[in-house]
Structure formats: C-alpha cells, structure tokens
A = this chain, B = another copy of it.
Amino acid sequence: MKNWSKKIYLELPIPSEEDHRPLQVRLTAALEDSGPFRLEEKAAYIRMRPAALRDAQEICVQSGFCVTATVGFDGWGWELLKIEPGDTTASHYGLCADLGSTTILMQLADLNTGEVLDTESIFNPQINWGEDILSRIFYTKDRPDHRRRLQAATAEGLQTLMEKLKEKTGIDTFSCPVLAVSGNTTMIHFLMGLDAFGVFQSPYAVQTLAPDVCRAEELGIPMNGFVCCCPGMENYLGGDIISGMLATGIPDHEEISVFLDVGTNGELVVGNKDFLLAGAGAAGPALEGGVVHTGMRAEEGAVDRVVTEKGQLKIHVIGEGKAKGICGSGIVDLIAELYLNGWIDLRGKYQEEVPEVVRVPVRDEDETELAVEYAPGLYFYQDDIDEFLKTKAAAMTMVEYMMGLIGLTMEDVGRFYVAGAFGTHLNKESAVTIGLYPDIDRDKIISPGNTSLQGARELLLDRSLMEKAKEIIDRMQYVQFGAVEDFLHLMVAATAIPHTDMQRYPSVVRRLEERRKNC
C-alpha cells in the first residue's frame, strides 16, 4: 500500500556553529533519511512552498526541533504540507467522498488504521441550479460564470460535509492532507469548474476523465492538502463506476460478475480478471421513481414496501406517517404484487375486471386511466407501469446483450451486483418477479451499497489504486448500446413481466402458482 500522505516524526539536529544548514536543507535531509522515505519509497522530490517553510521555523524552535512533518503526494512527488510540534503521528486522518448528482457523501478515515470514523451526507447543492444533471449541464453551457457558480456550490457542499464531520468527531478535517473523490464524469467536471457539455453531446469529447491531483485550495476547498479523483473511462462511465470496480474487486476475480449501478443513469460492467465489458444507458430516473406520477425519493412519507395480505395491498411508509408518494423499492414491490395478484398481465396491463383496478382521471387532465389506489388518495397509473417496465427492460437488455456478446447466459454469472441505494433497499424477490433481476441463486445477488464511496475510501488508503484504476480502464471495452441493431428487439421481449421467455424465471412461475393456490 502506498499512501497519499505521510506523517513523519523528526528529531532534527539543532542548529549550531558546526551545523548551520538552512532549515529547508535540514528538513529535507531528515525526511529523506526517515523510515517512510528510506524503506517504503524514495521521494522524487519534497517540495517546500514558501507558506510551509514560513511556519516551520517557529514550530521547530518552540518544540526543540522535535516535530512531525506532514507530506502529501502531488501526483508526481511530495510536498511538505505542515510542521507540528512534537510527535503527532498518531493523528493522521483523510477524507473520501462520493460526489453524487443528488447526494454527496463524505467519510473521515483514520489513515493509520484504515478505520472509518464517521460518514455524513447532504443533498448536492447543485440541485439549486437543476434537479437533474442535464439541466445543470445546460445551465453551465457557454456560461463560465454559471460554471464558477456550480463549482463553488460543489466546493461548499464538500466544505459543509467537512464541518459536519469535524463537529461529530472533533477532528480538524480541514487539516486532512488528502480528499479522495469519486463521481461521474459530469460531477467531476463541475467540481473542477469545467464545461460538461461534451459529456452529453456528440462527439462526446469531455475536458478530462482523469484530472491531475490538485491542491484543495485550487478548488476553493479550504483544506491544507490534495484532492485526487478516481479516473473515469468514458463520458457516461465515470470515476464512480471505476471506483465500484476497486470496491468489489471484480477485475481481479475468477468468477464472472455483473455490476449494475442504477442511479441517475444506468451503468453496467460485466467481467472478471480476463475481460471487462462496460456500457451505460438511460435507465435510472424511472427505476428510482422519477417518472412515476406519485414517485418520490426514499425519504419520510415514501411507500417503500408493498405486500399482499388476504388479497389486499399492505404498505409500509418511511417514518411510519401518512404516505405522500412511492419510492423505487416500493414501485418494484407494487408491480410484483400487482402481477402476482393477477391485477396486471405479463405485459403490465391492468385487468379491468379486477375490483381494485379503477378508472380515474389522470392528474391535471381530462383523460382517465386505469389505476390502483396503493395508499389513501395515491394512485399508480397504467402509464406509470408502462414507463417503469420500459426502463427495467432497457436495464435488463443491457445485461442480456452484453452477456450475449461473449456467449454467456445468466447461469455463468457468479455475482450479480446491484450497487447504490436502489439495490440496498430493493426486495430481491420482487425484483426477480418483475424481471429486473435474473432468476438466479439469491446469494449471488449482492447489494454492496455505495461502491463509489467504498472505492473512494480504498483509493484514499492506497494511492497505488490510482494506477490500478488506470489499468482497469485500459482493459475495459466500452459497448455502445445505441449502435446495436437487435437491441430494440431484445428490449421488447424484456418489457414483459418478468420476460416473454418464462423459462428463464422458474422461481417466478412457482410463486405465481403458489399465489393462485392461496387465492
């Protein structure tokens, strides 16, 4: 493991007539001669900026020249960041963050032990300039001033998290020597203050996929240290996914894994130590409840669980209060129950003869639509189902298509990862029932949680993962789904619940039979 920063206790020789070397020389010699630089790695250089030298002397004199130096890796060599009196090597902390378009998470880790001390999250302040990522991209297009605004908001978000972590732990997060960030390509552009329009528009040439390590101050983050970002592979396959590869270890394993990240976008990796295929598609918002009339985030008031008891839908509401809408996991449960109860057919169409299926006006319109009242006053409409199934079909078709490219079927899959909050909260059985997950051994279906943050933490603890990430990117082959001819054909088949080919879903067939027996 190679670290981004070192804290090194030095007992410097006290200046005398015989040894009156300048402080800079004295410090450099002592650092180069210290264990970390003799035993772990040779420093290409140890840069000392005027500001670092300024504080050094007084602290050296005050402490009898027994000091702890903090050095940080700048991408190519080392820089002296700080001199503290006495031996403070026991306090060595670092930060990592998942810069999501909706939520930013940050963790404080003990760099001596690797232990996570606390995790905090906030909504991404960029939301003020656009709920979705695309409207933010348009907001900043051709507007350097708007880019600066979004950049500053991003930096402020990170700063807020640092303050929260400081408050919680009592550790001065602003003196951390390193912050490792992973985020998708657009988020990294916004963090750096770069124009992200290339992410979205042909020929999809972005500004950077692997920004150089930079000083936090350059990004307006008042931290005396460096920011490193997990590199990305493509405009739609960013550092958050590569970070997920570091977190899951997929590129090192013998067994074949499927890695699906459902967020604002849907990203997919299939591979093992011998091959890595990756692709991305617009899968996200619908699955997270974005296009559903009463859809909402998984927060207080959201229906997140639906079951059928005695032929009746029973819901669970986050916060146990009144239901205000439905989130992703609730939608998956609901559609699964509608299907198992026979209220919708395998094409997802409401069955008019079912008494619970009612025809109601669609909000704000004269039209009516079939729907089910899943909670008092809250309807799930036919077009909610249609939209959702189209999206789940897109996601599953990506997987199927990619597997097919190399002649694999779901039986070859050793692990099926569903990353992110979506995967964590989803009921596996419901997800299999509607064909969002394949019908495989449930133990193989893994919800690893926020792999972007986990990968950022790994990167924080071991800077050699920066090289590893670049190797992964070099090995990865990007699959363009848009260019695929039979993709649409495959997708139509996947729009059914769980799929037009029921043989692929034997457990769903069994559940259907059981449910009918019970009725």
Residue ranges of A at the interface with B (Cβ–Cβ < 8 Å): 15-17, 19-26, 44-45, 47-51, 53-54, 56-58, 75-77, 144, 147, 192-195, 198, 202-212, 214, 218-219
Cα A194 to Cα B58 with chains together (Å): 10
Partner of A54, one of B24, B53, B194: B194
Q: State the 8 A-B residue pairs at the shortest beta-carbon distance, nearest first.
A: A15-B205, A24-B208, A20-B205, A50-B192, A20-B203, A23-B207, A17-B203, A22-B206
Query: Whose C-beta in chain B lies nearest to the C-beta of A75?
Result: B47
Residues of chain B lying within 8 A (CB to CB) of residue A212: 47-49
Interfacial chain B residues near A144, Cβ < 8 Å:
54, 58
Q: Which residue of B lies closest to A80 (CB)?
A: B212
Which residues does chain B contribute within 8 Å of A25, judged by CB atoms? 208-209
Cβ B194 vs Cβ A57 within 8 A: yes
CB-CB under 8 A from A22, the residues of chain B are 205-210
Query: Contacts A54-B193, A194-B54 given: A208-B23 contact, CB under 8 Å?
Result: yes
Alpha-carbon distance A30/B182, docked complex (angstroms): 28
Contact of A219 among B50, B57, B198, B211 (CB under 8 A): B50
CB neighbours of A47 from chain B (8 A): 75-76, 212
Inter-chain contact B53/A194, CB cutoff 8 Å = yes
- Are B23's CB and A57's CB within 8 A? no
Contact in complex: B58, A195 (CB < 8 Å):
yes
Task: Give chain B nearest CB distance to A153 CB in angstroms.
Answer: 15
Closest to A234 in B: B20
Q: A23-B207, A44-B76, A202-B17 are in contact. Are A218 and B57 (CB under 8 A)?
A: no
Q: How far is the CA of A144 from the CA of B54 in the complex (A)?
A: 9
Among residues of B, the one whose C-beta sits closest to the C-beta of A206 is B22
A206-B16 Cα distance, complex, nearest whole Å: 11
A234 → chain B, closest Cβ, in Å? Answer: 9
Chain B residue numbers with a CB within 8 Å of A44 are 76
Known contacts A24-B210, A76-B77, A194-B57, A203 near B16 by CB under 8 Å:
yes
Taking CB as reference atom, which chain B residue is nearest A47?
B212
Q: Can you sample 17 A-B contacts with CB below 8 Å?
A: A17-B203, A19-B203, A22-B206, A23-B207, A24-B207, A24-B210, A26-B205, A44-B76, A49-B214, A49-B218, A53-B194, A54-B144, A54-B193, A54-B194, A57-B194, A57-B207, A58-B144
Bound Cα distance from A51 to B193, whole angstroms? 8
How far does the alpha carbon of A26 sit from the alpha carbon of B202 in the complex, in Å?
Answer: 17
- Given known contacts A45-B75, A48-B212, A212-B47, is B20 in contact with A204 (CB within 8 Å)? yes
Q: Indicate if the CB atoms of B15 and A50 lie closer than 8 Å.
A: no
- A31: min CB distance to chain B, Å: 14
A292 to B26, CA, bound (A): 42
**A75-B28 Cα distance, complex, nearest whole Å:** 15
Chain B residues with CB under 8 Å of A76's CB are 44-45, 47, 76-77
Tell me the complex Cα distance, A371–B478, Å: 94
* Alpha-carbon distance between A47 and B74 when the two chains are bound, in angstroms: 10
Residues of B within 8 A of A195 (CB): 57-58
User: Min CB distance, A63 to chain B, in Å?
Assistant: 16
- Across the interface, A205 reaches (CB within 8 A) one of B21, B77, B193, B203, namely B21
Complexed CA–CA distance, A392 and B137 (Å): 73
Determine how close the nearest CB of chain B comes to the CB of A379; give it in whole angstroms: 44
> Which among A53, A198, A210, A214 has the highest number of chain B CB atoms within 10 Å?
A53
In the complex, the answer to whether A53 meets B192 with C-beta atoms within 8 Å is yes
- CB-based contact B147/A214 at 8 Å: no
CA distance A58 to B77 in the complex (A): 31
Contact A208 B15 (CB under 8 A): no
Q: Which of B21, B56, B218 contacts A51 (CB 8 A)?
A: B218
| A198: chain B residues within 8 A (beta carbon) | 15, 20, 57
Q: Considering only CB atoms, which chain B residue lies closest to A219 in the complex?
A: B50
Chain B residues in 8 Å Cβ range of A209: 22, 24-25
Contacts of A58 in B (CB 8 A): 144, 195
In the bound complex, what is the Cα–Cα distance between A133 and B420 (angstroms)? 64
Q: Do B17 and A211 touch across chains, with their CB atoms under 8 A apart?
A: no
- Residue from A22, A193, A195 with most neighbouring chain B CB atoms (10 Å): A22
A256 nearest CB across to chain B (Å)? 29
Which of chain B's residues has its CB closest to A17's CB? B203
Q: In the complex, what distance in Å separates the CA atom of A210 from the CA atom of B373?
A: 77
A48 / chain B contacts, CB cutoff of 8 Å: 208, 211-212
With both chains docked as a complex, state the minimum distance between the C-beta of A121 and any C-beta of chain B, in angstroms.
Answer: 25
| A333 CB → nearest B CB, Å | 41
Which chain B residues border A205 with CB–CB below 8 Å?
A: 15, 20-23, 26
